[in-house]
Amino acid sequence: QGCTQKYIVKNYFYYYLFRFSAALGEEIFYITFLPFTYWNIDHSVSRRMIIIWSIVMYIGQVSKDILKWPRPLSPPVVKLEMRTNAEYGMPSTHAMAATAISFSFFIATMNQYKYPFELGLVAAFVFSTLVCLSRLYTGMHTVLDVIGGALISAVLLVLLYPAWDMIDHLLLTSPFCPLLSIVVPLVLCYNYPKLDYYSPTRGDTTTILGAAAGATVGFWLNNQYTAPVYASKSFQLGFPLIPSKMVVVLARFFVGILVVLLTRWLMKSMVLGVLGYWYKFPIRDLEARRRLEVEVPYKFITYSSVGFTATVIVPLLHELLGLK
């Protein structure tokens, strides 16, 4: 499992295109693009994307560990990634996330911004297609895994779309929102399907649900104590972007990402330190960190802090720095 086949890259264009496209379905993309939409585009768009993303990813991750369909055999397939090799293959959560994020962004913005409908549709299709093709190129999924992931995501979008506004309203106004936003994801994480061996799916699922939980509490808090969300839209992007507006967009993004990454680093260190002291294990003990009683609180607290920071602390800092 830990060995990779030797390979020779014969077409660097496809190699870098699909390695980059594969990264669009990983944490580095989520932790940059989703906060960017909240800080610089529109609060309502960001909320809907995060809700859809967390639901779709949870269903996809759980489906993998229930179905237990293996990934493509290597050889004959050459695998360019190894981190997710311990996971099962069906459905492709990269395909699910790419479909959910691109098309939820398109649906949420098409009535709020003036741009050609066809252009938005093509952009969403191209984005999701590139990510799907990258999973075939890197040898991590079969065609059926990718098609299944994209179709499941599309069906969930269709089913959830009529309830978008109702869900959004409840998450913003219900007095039970903060409690449910923490308790429900935690229950789901602690009752995640058990496997005979360790797989990173439970940890990744906890990361996703934790980030969504922290962001949801932040949405509710902002609506209760700052300004009503329905009346507030963050910095509206217009096209073409004038230089002064572009400077503000970049400043908000880099300040925000710096704070988010700092929060993640601090919380990881603090939570692991506390759990290590409580359960008597060295912080660098990888096996101990994979235990249920360690992995779930460690990742949930860390990433819920990241989600809360991105939606509450960073906007306050933007206002303090005059970047509103």
Tens-binned pLDDT, residue by residue, of the chain (324 aa): 444 567 777 778 888 888 888 888 787 888 888 888 888 888 888 888 899 999 999 999 999 888 888 888 777 777 777 666 667 788 988 899 999 999 999 988 887 777 788 888 899 999 999 988 888 888 888 899 999 999 999 999 999 888 888 888 888 888 998 999 999 999 999 998 887 777 788 888 999 999 999 999 999 998 887 655 444 444 444 444 556 778 888 888 999 999 999 999 999 999 998 998 888 888 888 888 888 888 899 999 999 999 999 999 999 898 888 877
Asked if 27 contacts 83 with a C-beta cutoff of 8 angstroms, the reply is no
d(CA 125, CA 116): 14
CA 189 to chain CA centroid, nearest Å: 16
Exposure class string for 25-57: b at 16+ Cβ within 10 A, else e: bbeebbbeebbbbbbbbbbbbbbbbbbbbbbbb
Beta-carbon neighbour count of residue 15 at 10 Å?
A: 15
CA dist 292 → 36, 277, 299, 301, 303 (Å): 32, 16, 11, 14, 16
Q: Which of the residues are catalytic? A: 94, 141
Residues 35, 41, 45: CA angle, nearest 5 degrees: 75
Half-sphere exposure of 25 (CA within 13 A, CB side): 30
Task: Round to whole Å and give the CA distance between 258 and 163.
Answer: 34
Q: Give strand ranges (E) for the chain.
A: none
Largest CA distance in the chain: 59
Assign 321 to helix, strand or coil: coil
Tell me the pTM. Answer: 0.84
Residue-level pLDDT at 8: 79
Provide the 8-state DSSP code for 112. Answer: T
